[in-house]
Amino acid sequence: MGPEILRDLSFAIPRGSFQFLSGPSGAGKTTLLRLLFMSLKPTRGLITIFGKDRSLITRRDLPMMRRRIGIVFQDFRLLDHMTTYENVALPLRVRGRDEASYRSDVTELLKWVGLGDRMHVLPPVLSGGEKQRAAIARALIEQPEILLADEPTGNVDPPLARRLLRLFIELNRLGTAVVIATHDLGLMDQVDARRMILSNGRLEIYD
Amino acid sequence: MTDMPAVEQVAVPSAPAKSWGGRRAAPIVPEREIARNALMLVVAIMTFLSCLTLGAVTLVRDTSASWQTQIAREATIQIRPEEGLDMEAALEEAAGIARDFAGVNSVQIVDREATARLLEPWLGSGLDLDGLPVPRLVTVTIDRANPPDFEAMRSLLTERIRTASLDDHRTWADRLVAMARSTVMIGVAVLGLILAATMLTVVFATRGAMAGNGHVIEVLHFVGAEARFIAAEFRRHFLITGMKGAAIGGGAAAVAFAAFGFWAGRNLATPEADQATALFGNFAIGAAGYAGVAVIVIAVASLTAVTTHLTVIAFLKDLDVRQPDS
């Protein structure tokens, strides 16, 4: 077993809340997000997700649970052989939905994130900011109950970072709980929101 | 949460959908030409080799069966000359004895000309049989289903004609059966090895082709795709590749069999064909051989799909138990 990354953390993410998760590089922000996304299991401790004990959630149940969570990865994780539209529509496609039933929703969302004219482009020709927005759109397409975003403004210039932040705020207004992992203090200063600061494996919360 | 800036772009009215109808959606599993072609080639080659081995084993089995049949269908009476023996009368008598036995279909005396022809390779043409103590033969064709009593025939022959002997080819046939059995067993063992090598090669080639798709499985997993959906997508993709490769290999083997058969048919009277016929009888892979090719093609394609399925499931399992790395 490796070193303990996180210890003695106790917190809740209320429905419809908005918070930043911050801390120096290597503090464990990504690890904490992965624990919330259930792609990691804690070595000890209790995590309750949507009222269920994480340790009792089976691998078979995971996909259904994950459909209630949107995640934006630091490295986007877009599939290069699919267009922006297809990447954003992927969560719906894997559920077996007919394309006609979601076409207009995806198109509308892509316009909302400013990618209306980049729908049929493959990710390798998108800029960093465009990829970031496509990844965000993919996380939002199913209107998740909670959105986890790992450094969502890490690859974009300040004006675009502000624009993406507004996008998250608007999503939060529509009822989604948002957790943004960032070490960008400038970004956090733009919104008066709850701050969760990780340091040396411990968490301090500033409401 | 206060002081939130107004959102610049929201609620864009839903635009009419673009012309999606004519465009085919990208497949879930990316088309990787090089990996796919390499896998297809490996599958084709291994299927071809397996089918050829199977064809060879089928051929040996059929041929050995026909050797046994032909030899068991005949017996030979041999009469050695001696002082005072009227050879022609003895031959007639021996033929008569044989003919009287139940289970004998026909009896034929190998006449002087035929005997001379038999000896011609060793003693040259223009041979005078009267000047040489050459044994003479009577061939007895027997009913295999209801063979005559060879022992009774043998004792009756030696009783009437002192120098007569009966060879029912049993020793020769027994040896041949033993040899044919061991040949078929060796063939089956070689086929087993080839099939095992094919399985392993196909498994590793499939895993190799899958290796570049880890990120695709990961993304599908994280956007909420169920394991069976992901496995089905990859299985279908690789099943098609496996089927194409196996069909190419199996098809090439079937063409090779047909070509050999055609060649043998066209060259019936040539020394090469005589040599091949002497060894293999009619060089033809029967329906069983072609059915075996079909079975191998299906098995290899299925193996590709099963390997893909297991690889995806193992990858997904690994994703969910991975330990913290940051």
What interface predicted TM-score (ipTM) does this complex get? 0.87
Closest among B83, B79, B145 to B110, alpha carbons compared:
B79
* The pLDDT of residue B207: 77
Q: Does residue A151 lie within any of the structural domains? A: yes
Closest among B315, B293, B71 to B206, alpha carbons compared:
B315
Q: Residue B179: pLDDT above 90?
A: no
Per-residue pLDDT of B276-304, as tens digits, reads 666 655 556 677 778 888 999 998 888 88
Whether residues B28 and A93 touch (CB distance < 8 A) is answered with yes
* The pLDDT of residue B276: 62
**Taking the CA atoms of chain B, what radius of gyration do you get in angstroms?**
36
Give the count of Cβ contacts less than 8 A between chain A and B. Answer: 128
Alpha carbon B63 to its chain centroid, in Å, reads 12
Contacts of B181 (CB under 8 A, 6+ apart): B64
Whether residues A192 and B1 touch (CB distance < 8 A) is answered with yes
Rounded to an integer, the average pLDDT of A97-103 is: 91
Rounded to an integer, the average pLDDT of B220-227 is: 88
**Taking the CA atoms of chain A, what radius of gyration do you get in angstroms?**
17
- Rounded Cα gap, residues A183 and B213, in angstroms: 32
Domain ranges of chain B: 33-68+174-319, 81-162
pTM above 0.80, yes or no: no
Kindly list the residues from chain B whose CB atom is less than 8 angstroms away from the CB atom of residue A192: 1-3
* The pLDDT of residue B14: 36
Range of the domain at A100: 18-206
* The pLDDT of residue B23: 58
Q: Residue B8: pLDDT above 70?
A: no
Kindly list the residues from chain A whose CB atom is less than 8 angstroms away from the CB atom of residue B326: 5, 26, 28, 30-31
Q: Does residue A5 lie within any of the structural domains? A: no
Contacts of B282 (CB under 8 A, 6+ apart): B264
Rounded to an integer, the average pLDDT of B163-170 is: 85
* The pLDDT of residue A137: 92
* The pLDDT of residue B274: 64
What CATH number has the domain bearing residue A35?
Answer: 3.40.50.300
Q: Residue B16: pLDDT above 70?
A: no
Describe the crossing of helices A84-93 and A99-112 by its angle, rounded to 10 degrees. Answer: 130
Whether residues A169 and B18 touch (CB distance < 8 A) is answered with no
Q: Is A119 exposed, middle or buried (0-12, 13-18, 19+ CB in 10 A)?
A: middle
CA dihedral A162, A168, A174, A177 (to 10 degrees): -140
* The pLDDT of residue A123: 94
Closest among A123, A16, A19 to A75, alpha carbons compared:
A123
Whether residues A40 and B316 touch (CB distance < 8 A) is answered with no
Strand A18-22 with A177-181, pairing: parallel
- Rounded Cα gap, residues B141 and B127, in angstroms: 28
Q: Does residue A193 lie within any of the structural domains? A: yes
Q: Does residue A112 lie within any of the structural domains? A: yes
B19, B36, B223, best to mutate vs chain A, most A CBs in 10 Å: B223
Q: Give 3-state DSSP helix, strand, coil % of chain A, rounded to 5.
A: 35, 15, 45
For chain A, the first-to-last Cα distance in angstroms comes to 34
Q: Does residue A1 lie within any of the structural domains? A: no
* The pLDDT of residue A114: 87
What's the number of domains chain A is made of? 1
Contacts of B50 (CB under 8 A, 6+ apart): B191, B194, B195, B198, B249, B296, B300
| Mean pLDDT over the full length of chain B | 79
